[in-house]
């Protein structure tokens, strides 16, 4: 067996690649011609010899090397691979942040936020800071119990924010999954908590899909006696069925009325941050009815950058509440028809009444759909088919409007 004196005086002659000095139980000191000394322990698996590095001498002395050898052998006797176990411990120690919920949540957020739109990132961070950090932010991930998180979520419910509680739970669930993957937690404490919360079923935007009722609505829109800007927005909404923010934020430079095409820049679309910065614009074919409405509006707002400028501030578009209030004035509450609901109206009736291709409809809605290989279709595809479909849709709306006038 080795002694401290043996270890100190051990050397390797220049003609050898290395020299080994054996202790006991598979422990040995390996010395290079340059003078470096490293401890190793022999390990056997499936009849094959391997070795585990235990550190360098004299940083790791003889007594420490023997204790490390004994720990490795004990792990092996318990069915644990000591080399793999040590590798995992090193990975755990390499985590750049701490182990509290706030540490892990902010680390996860920093990795996700670059892929999100700014609005989505701001909303997620706000929910962390308002609904989670004050209560469990300083707690170690491994020590948080399901009942603690449930109590935190019920504080959100207590203020009547049932939907928010559901979203906060989804955020927490993603943090726990990240914590497990980075060895800061051993289990997902969010599992099963949804059943303990007040049930939340996502509300659907009010949308008319009955032809007769839609004809009555179109007639009501024509009879609107408010300002011409809101009136034009009302009339264009069912024809073009774009998102309210995309329509009301439209600019005249995006419109090619002669070519009957509206090109919405990617930065104004509902997309990820990368999609907004590097994506293609969304092309909206304009049926002749839409071109007519826009040409009638152009003398009124054409001097402005915006197609639908606000009444008080022409540098900002009309608010979403402007059209919502107009619909309510016409007798259409949010349960019956919303501005955003015109998208559901068109999507349903284009498929069921006009039997249009679902892929063409989804492309017009600017939804990313996938082919059999999982690749997302380019939103500018099907432009020829969409142009035909949009004119067919506008003509169909005219037909319904005319039917509504009949006794």
Q: Looking only at Cα atoms, what is the longest distance across the chain?
A: 112
The per-residue pLDDT for range 106-147, each reduced to its tens digit, is 999 999 888 777 778 888 999 999 999 999 999 999 899 999
Q: What is the CATH number of domain 101-196?
A: 1.10.150.130
Segment 27-51 shows an average pLDDT of 85
Question: What pLDDT was estimated at residue 183?
Answer: 84
- The pLDDT value given to residue 379: 46
The phi-psi region of residue 374 (left if phi > 0; otherwise alpha if psi is between -120 and 50; otherwise beta) is: left
The mean per-residue pLDDT over the stretch 212-233 comes to: 94
What are 312-335's pLDDT values in tens digits?
Answer: 888 899 998 999 999 999 999 888
- The mean pLDDT value for 62-71 works out to 89
List the structure tokens of 120.
Answer: 């989505």
End-to-end CA distance of the chain: 110
Which residue carries 């849709």 as its tokens? 393
Contact (CB, 8 A) for 377 and 371? yes
pLDDT band, residue 186 (cuts 50/70/90)? confident
For residue 113, the number of C-alpha atoms closer than 13 Å in the C-beta half-sphere is 14
- Comparing 6-10, 32-36, 365-369, the range with the smallest average pLDDT is 365-369
| Mean pLDDT taken over the chain | 87
Alpha carbons 253 and 257: distance in angstroms, whole number: 10
CA distance 387 to 367: 17
Least confident of 74-78, 229-233, 326-330, 391-395: 74-78
What CATH code would you report for 211-405? 1.10.443.10
At residue 235, does pLDDT exceed 60? Answer: yes
pLDDT tens-digit series, residues 259-271? 999 999 988 887 7
**In the prediction, which pLDDT does 163 show?**
84
User: Residue 372 above 60 pLDDT?
Assistant: no
**The pLDDT of residue 375:** 47
One fold for 4-93 and 101-196 = no
Q: What CATH code would you report for 4-93? A: 3.30.160.390
pLDDT: which is higher, 201 or 128: 128
Q: Where do the domains of the chain lie?
A: 4-93, 101-196, 211-405
Answer whether residue 3 shows pLDDT above 60: yes
Pick from 71, 248, 105, 241: nearest CA to 179? 105
Q: Helices (DSSP H) in 94-227: which residue ranges? A: 101-112, 118-127, 133-136, 146-158, 162-181, 211-222
The answer to whether residues 282 and 269 touch, using CB atoms and an 8 Å cutoff, is yes
Which residue in 7, 404, 1, 16 sits closest to 211, CA to CA?
Answer: 404
Indicate if the pLDDT at residue 386 is higher than 50. Answer: yes
**pLDDT score at 243:** 92
Percent of the chain with pLDDT over 70: 91
CA-to-CA distance for 43 and 399, rounded, in angstroms?
Answer: 84
**Listed range (45-59, 234-248, 355-369) with the worst mean pLDDT:** 45-59
CA distances from 149 to 138, 185, 191, 205 (A): 13, 14, 11, 31
Judge whether residue 374 has pLDDT over 50. no
Q: Residues 365-375: what's their mean pLDDT?
A: 61
């Amino acid at each position: 067996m080795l002694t401290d004196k043996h270890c100190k005086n051990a050397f390797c002659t220049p003609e050898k690649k290395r020299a080994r000095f054996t202790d006991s139980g598979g422990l040995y000191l390996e010395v290079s011609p340059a003078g470096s000394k490293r401890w190793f322990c022999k390990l056997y698996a499936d009849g094959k010899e391997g070795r585990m590095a235990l550190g360098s001498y004299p940083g790791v002395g003889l007594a420490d090397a023997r204790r490390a050898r004994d720990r490795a052998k004990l792990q092996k006797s318990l069915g644990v691979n000591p080399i793999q176990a040590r590798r995992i411990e090193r990975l755990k120690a390499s985590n750049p942040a701490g182990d509290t919920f706030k540490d892990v949540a902010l680390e996860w957020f920093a990795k996700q936020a670059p892929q999100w739109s700014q609005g989505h990132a701001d909303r997620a961070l706000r929910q962390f800071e308002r609904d989670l950090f004050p209560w469990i932010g300083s707690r170690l991930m491994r020590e948080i119990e399901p009942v603690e998180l449930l109590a935190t979520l019920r504080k959100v419910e207590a203020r009547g924010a049932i939907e928010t509680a559901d979203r906060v739970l989804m955020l927490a669930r993603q943090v726990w999954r990240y914590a497990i993957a980075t060895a800061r937690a051993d289990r997902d404490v969010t599992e099963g908590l949804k059943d303990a919360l007040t049930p939340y079923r996502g509300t659907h935007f009010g949308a008319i899909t009955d032809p007769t009722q839609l004809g009555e609505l179109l007639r009501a829109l024509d009879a609107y006696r408010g300002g011409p800007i809101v009136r034009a927005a009302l009339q264009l909404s069912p024809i073009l069925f774009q998102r309210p923010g995309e329509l009301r934020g439209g600019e005249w430079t995006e419109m090619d009325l002669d070519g009957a095409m509206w090109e919405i820049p990617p930065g104004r679309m509902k997309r990820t941050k990368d999609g907004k910065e590097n994506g293609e614009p969304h092309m909206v074919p304009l049926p002749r009815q839409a071109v007519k409405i826009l040409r009638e509006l152009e003398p009124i707002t054409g001097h402005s950058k915006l197609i639908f400028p606000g009444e008080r501030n022409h540098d900002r578009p009309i608010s979403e509440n402007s059209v919502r209030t107009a619909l309510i004035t016409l007798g259409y509450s949010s349960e019956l028809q919303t501005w955003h609901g015109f998208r559901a109206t068109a999507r349903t009736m284009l498929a069921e009444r006009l039997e249009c291709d679902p892929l063409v409809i989804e492309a017009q809605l600017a939804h990313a759909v996938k082919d059999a290989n999982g690749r997302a279709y380019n939103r500018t595809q099907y432009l020829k088919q969409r142009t035909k479909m949009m004119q067919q849709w506008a003509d169909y709306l005219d037909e319904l409007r005319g039917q509504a006038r009949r006794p």
